C-alpha cells in the first residue's frame, strides 16, 4: 500500500520533462493564442526536406501564402486548382493545426476575367455578384468544417480612411463587403469570418475600419474577427499606435489577429508609401540592401526588442487576441526579400536561413511567461 501511494504521489508530481519551459512557439503560447505561419507552394508540396515537420512542431495554424487566392485557386471561369490547397488542409488536419483561408475578395491577384462582361465591358453588378457567390460557394464549401476562418475581404480601405476604389466597389457598389460576408457564412456557417488589411495601426484607416465594422454589425452581417496584417519594421509601428489599434478593434467585441507578421530590418525606399500594397515597387540600390552578408548583432537585437514589445502587448490582450501568424517560416522564404524592392536580403523572421532561432525567437518566447501554463 505504501509503495502504491508513493507511486501515486510520484505520478502526481510533474515529471522533469513537463516542468521544462516549452521550446516551440505553439506550446509556449498554447494558453494565449494560435501561432501560425504562411506556407508557399513548394513547402505545401513537401519539396523541402524536413520543412513540414519543423512547421508542424513550431506552429498551430497555417495560411496558404498564395494558393487560395482567386488567381491561383480559380484561374479561369469554372476551373478550380485545388491540389495544393487540398494538401495544405490535409497537412493541417494531420498535425492538429488550424487552417486560415486567404483570401476571398481582394483587388489584387484576381484575374481580369472576373471583372469583365460581354465584349470586354465591365461586368454588371449582377454578373460580378454572381461570380463572387459562385467562387465563395465553391471554395468555402469545399473546405467547410476544415477551414477555421476566412479572410473574407482583404484591403478595402486606404490609409486615409477612404474606400479603396477597387473594381469590386466600383462595379458592385458599397455593399460588396457585406455581400461577401453573407455568402461566406451561407457556405460555412461555423467558419470564422474576418476583415483583413495592412497599416491597420494608421489612425485614419483604423477609425474607418471601426466604423465599417460597426455598420456591418448593426446590419447583422456575420463578421467574427479583424486581421491586422502586421508587415512591420524596427520601431514601426509605435507601441502607442499598436495598442490603440488593438484596443479599438478589441472593443468591437470581435477576435483580433495579427495575420501576416514580419519585421523588416531594411531601409524603406524614400518616395514610396510605407505599407504592403503589393503593386508598390522600387529599384534596388546598394544602400537599400545593407545586410547581404548577414545580420549585424545590434540590428538583430533591435529587431528582437521590437518583436518582444509586440508580443508583450498581444499577450496582455490574450482575452481577445486569438492568433498571431508569421508571413513565412524563415528569413529565406519571407516575401520581404522581394517587396517593395526585388532581390534584397532581408531578415524579417524569427528563424534564420538555416532555420536556426534568432535573438528575436528567444525574445518572443520570453514573452510567453504571460500565458498561464506557458
Ligand atoms: C504576398 C505574397 O507573400 C507574395 O508571394 C505574392 O507575390 C504577393 O502577395 N498582403 C496580403 C498577402 O494580404 O496576400 C500578400 O502576400 C502580402 C500583402
Residues 195, 187: Cα–Cα separation, whole Å: 17
pLDDT digits (tens, 9 = 90+) for 29-73: 999 999 999 999 999 999 999 999 999 999 999 999 999 999 999
16 pLDDT band, cuts 50/70/90, is low
- Name residues contacting ligand 1 (CB within 6 A): 65-66, 154, 198, 229, 260, 276, 278, 335
Q: Which of the listed residues 65, 67, 153 should we mutate to test ligand 1's pocket, taking the one with most ligand atoms within 8 A of CB?
A: 65
The whole-number average pLDDT for the span 193-218 is 98
All domains of the chain, ordered by start, with CATH?
2-267+283-371 (3.20.20.80)
Q: How many residues does the chain have?
A: 374
pLDDT digits (tens, 9 = 90+) for 272-326: 999 999 998 999 999 999 999 999 999 999 999 999 999 999 999 999 999 999 9
Note the pLDDT of residue 181: 99
Taking 90 as the threshold, does the pLDDT of residue 94 lie above it?
Answer: yes
Is the peptide bond between 237 and the residue preceding it cis, with omega within 30 degrees of 0? yes
Atom of ligand 1 nearest to the CA of 327: 3
Measured N-to-C along each axis, helices 176-187 and 125-142 cross at an angle, to the nearest 10 degrees, of 30
User: The C-alpha cell of 127 is what?
Assistant: 454578373
Residue reference for cell 528567444: 362
Calculate how far, in angstroms, residue 371's C-alpha sits from the geometric centre of ligand 1: 30
| pTM for the model | 0.94
Note the pLDDT of residue 359: 98
User: The C-alpha cell of 262 is what?
Assistant: 514580419
Residues belonging to the active site: 260
Note the pLDDT of residue 22: 76
Taking 50 as the threshold, does the pLDDT of residue 3 lie above it?
Answer: no
In this structure, the residue with its CA closest to atom 16 of ligand 1 is: 65
Note the pLDDT of residue 372: 73
Residues 336, 340: Cα–Cα separation, whole Å: 7
Half-sphere exposure of 18 (CA within 13 A, CB side): 6
Note the pLDDT of residue 15: 52
Calculate how far, in angstroms, residue 355's C-alpha sits from the geometric centre of ligand 1: 21
**307, 364 Cβ separation under 8 angstroms:** yes
Q: Which of the listed residues 278, 337, 348 should we mutate to test ligand 1's pocket, taking the one with most ligand atoms within 8 A of CB?
A: 278
373: left (phi over 0), alpha (psi -120 to 50) or beta: left
Percent of the chain residues topping a pLDDT of 90: 93
**196, 230 Cβ separation under 8 angstroms:** no
In this structure, the residue with its CA closest to atom 18 of ligand 1 is: 276
Give the chain's mean pLDDT: 94
Amino acid at each position: 500500500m505504501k509503495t502504491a501511494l508513493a507511486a501515486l504521489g510520484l505520478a502526481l508530481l510533474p515529471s522533469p520533462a513537463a516542468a521544462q519551459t516549452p521550446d516551440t512557439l505553439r506550446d509556449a503560447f498554447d494558453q494565449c493564442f494560435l501561432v501560425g505561419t504562411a506556407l508557399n507552394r513548394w513547402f505545401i508540396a513537401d519539396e523541402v526536406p524536413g520543412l513540414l515537420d519543423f512547421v508542424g512542431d513550431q506552429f498551430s495554424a497555417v495560411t496558404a501564402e498564395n494558393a487560395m487566392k482567386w488567381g491561383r485557386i480559380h484561374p479561369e471561369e469554372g476551373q478550380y486548382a485545388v491540389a495544393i490547397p487540398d494538401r495544405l488542409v490535409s497537412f493541417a488536419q494531420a498535425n492538429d493545426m488550424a487552417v486560415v483561408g486567404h483570401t476571398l475578395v481582394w483587388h489584387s491577384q484576381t484575374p481580369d476575367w472576373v471583372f469583365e462582361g460581354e465584349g470586354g465591358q465591365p461586368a454588371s453588378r449582377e454578373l460580378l455578384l454572381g461570380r463572387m457567390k459562385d467562387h465563395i460557394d465553391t471554395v468555402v464549401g469545399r473546405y467547410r468544417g476544415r477551414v477555421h476562418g476566412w479572410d473574407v475581404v482583404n484591403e478595402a480601405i486606404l490609409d486615409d480612411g477612404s474606400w479603396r476604389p477597387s473594381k469590386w466597389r466600383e462595379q458592385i457598389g458599397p455593399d460588396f463587403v457585406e455581400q461577401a460576408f453573407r455568402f461566406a457564412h451561407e457556405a460555412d456557417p461555423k467558419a470564422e469570418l474576418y476583415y483583413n488589411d495592412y497599416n491597420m495601426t494608421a489612425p485614419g484607416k483604423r477609425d474607418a475600419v471601426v466604423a465599417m465594422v460597426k455598420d456591418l454589425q448593426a446590419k447583422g452581417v456575420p463578421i467574427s474577427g479583424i486581421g491586422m496584417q502586421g508587415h512591420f519594421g524596427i520601431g514601426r509601428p509605435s507601441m502607442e499606435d499598436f495598442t490603440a489599434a488593438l484596443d479599438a478593434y478589441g472593443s468591437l467585441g470581435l477576435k483580433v489577429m495579427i495575420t501576416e507578421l514580419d519585421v523588416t530590418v531594411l531601409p524603406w525606399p524614400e518616395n514610396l508609401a510605407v505599407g504592403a500594397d503589393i503593386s508598390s515597387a522600387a529599384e534596388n540600390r546598394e544602400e537599400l540592401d545593407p545586410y547581404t552578408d548577414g545580420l549585424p548583432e545590434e540590428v538583430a537585437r533591435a529587431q528582437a526588442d521590437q518583436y518582444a514589445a509586440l508580443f508583450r502587448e498581444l499577450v496582455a490582450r490574450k482575452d481577445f487576441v486569438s492568433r498571431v501568424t508569421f508571413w513565412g517560416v524563415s528569413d529565406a522564404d519571407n516575401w520581404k526579400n522581394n517587396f517593395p524592392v526585388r532581390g534584397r536580403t532581408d531578415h524579417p523572421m524569427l528563424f534564420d536561413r538555416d532555420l536556426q532561432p534568432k535573438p528575436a525567437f528567444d525574445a518572443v518566447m520570453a514573452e510567453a511567461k504571460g500565458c498561464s501554463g506557458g
